[in-house]
Amino acid sequence: MTRIDDTFARLKTEGRRAFVAYVMAGDPDFETSKEIVRGLPGAGVDIIELGLPFTDPMADGATIQLAGQRALAQGMTLDRTLEIARDLRKTDTTTPIVMMGYYNPIHSRGVPKFLEQAKDAGIDGLIVVDLPPEEDEELCIPAQKAGLNFIRLATPTTDDARLPKVLQNTSGFVYYVSITGITGAAEAQADAVAPEVARIKSQTDLPIIVGFGVKTPDTARSIAGIADGTVVGSAIVNQIAEGKPVAEILDFVKALADGAHSA
């Protein structure tokens, strides 16, 4: 059992949906990023997705691309991203942290060394968007053996023939991408997402979390109501990009979390 498994088990007994928040590590700067991450659990966040800055984030829209560029310009690295997780673990030993990013920085570090360092820093799961199931031996299988969940994305184009392959070695939860395209591109619609969530649920016992296109408390509520929870990323990153004070950013996160938890 990982922290992710424990969190979903607890939420199930409480009859609540999960709220997952994405932030880019190092955005707008290292110290502010640490402060934001430390504040997320108190704002109602059940699982933190911590973005690993990368120079070529192909799945991300302009909002998160720019966040990565800001972080890299501030000297953000894989080591400093792990340090943000390590900083949270000084005060919070229960909130799961999922590192989300691309394979190149991990491959450059070396998978065994990366997994050892990630585990030591308190990372609980990985989402690596450019590693398909056919490459599971690269990172997915080693990560699971190291005690980290490997979370896979399913999308509107993941048909019934492809879905079993996507689910094959997935653990922790399934991240359903509610829209076709990049992050921040459109608003998620619960009536369109519900049949897809039901289709995936028919093939797995894992929780289904829906992300992409969730921008408001009302949307968080409607999407969480047809899934096991929801993810908000671009809307939070926009608040950071606008230079809002940390307290104001966390108030915004709390409103989204309250929406998801009221589903």
CB 138 within 8 A of CB 113: no
State the average pLDDT for the chain.
94
Edge-first strand listing for the sheet containing 174-177: 149-150, 125-128, 97-101, 47-51, 18-24, 229-232, 208-211, 174-177, 152-154
What are 199-224's pLDDT values in tens digits?
Answer: 999 999 999 999 988 999 999 999 99
Total number of domains constituting the chain: 1
Q: What is the pLDDT of residue 181?
A: 54
* Any domain includes 195: no
Range of the domain at 246: 3-150+229-261
- List the catalytic residue out of 27, 46, 60, 228: 60
Separation between Cα atoms, residue 257 and residue 20, nearest integer Å: 8
| Greater pLDDT, 179 or 186 | 179
The helix (run of H) or strand (run of E) holding residue 173 is none
| Residue found under tokens 């720019």 | 66
What are 117-159's pLDDT values in tens digits?
Answer: 999 999 999 999 999 999 999 999 999 999 999 999 999 999 9
* Any domain includes 118: yes
| C-alpha angle 17-20-23 in degrees, rounded to nearest 5 | 165
Separation between Cα atoms, residue 257 and residue 21, nearest integer Å: 9
pTM for this model (two decimals)? 0.95
Any catalytic annotation for residue 49?
Answer: yes
How large a percentage of the chain has pLDDT more than 90?
A: 89
Cβ within 8 Å of residue 31, ≥6 positions away: none
CB 206 within 8 A of CB 215: no
Q: Output the domain CATH number for residue 255.
A: 3.20.20.70
Q: Which of 128, 23, 22 is nearest to 71 (CA)?
A: 23
Is the predicted pLDDT of residue 162 greater than 60, yes or no?
Answer: yes
The helix (run of H) or strand (run of E) holding residue 3 is helix 3-14
pLDDT, mean of residues 221-244: 96
* Any domain includes 87: yes
* Any domain includes 216: no
- List the catalytic residue out of 5, 46, 49, 228: 49
**In this structure, is the dihedral angle defined by the CA atoms of residues 120, 123, 126 and 128, taken in order, positive or negative?**
negative
Q: Where are the beta strands (DSSP E) in the chain?
A: 18-24, 47-51, 97-101, 125-128, 149-150, 152-154, 174-177, 208-211, 229-232
* Any domain includes 192: no
Q: DSSP letters of 40-71?
A: TGGGT-SEEEEE---S--TT--HHHHHHHHHH
* Any domain includes 92: yes
CB atoms within 10 A of CB 196: 20
* Any domain includes 41: yes
* Any domain includes 196: no
pLDDT, mean of residues 217-242: 96
Q: Which of 236, 229, 196 is nearest to 12 (CA)?
A: 229
pLDDT, mean of residues 238-244: 97
What are 18-76's pLDDT values in tens digits?
Answer: 999 999 999 999 999 999 999 999 999 999 999 999 988 776 788 999 999 999 999 99
Separation between Cα atoms, residue 185 and residue 8, nearest integer Å: 28
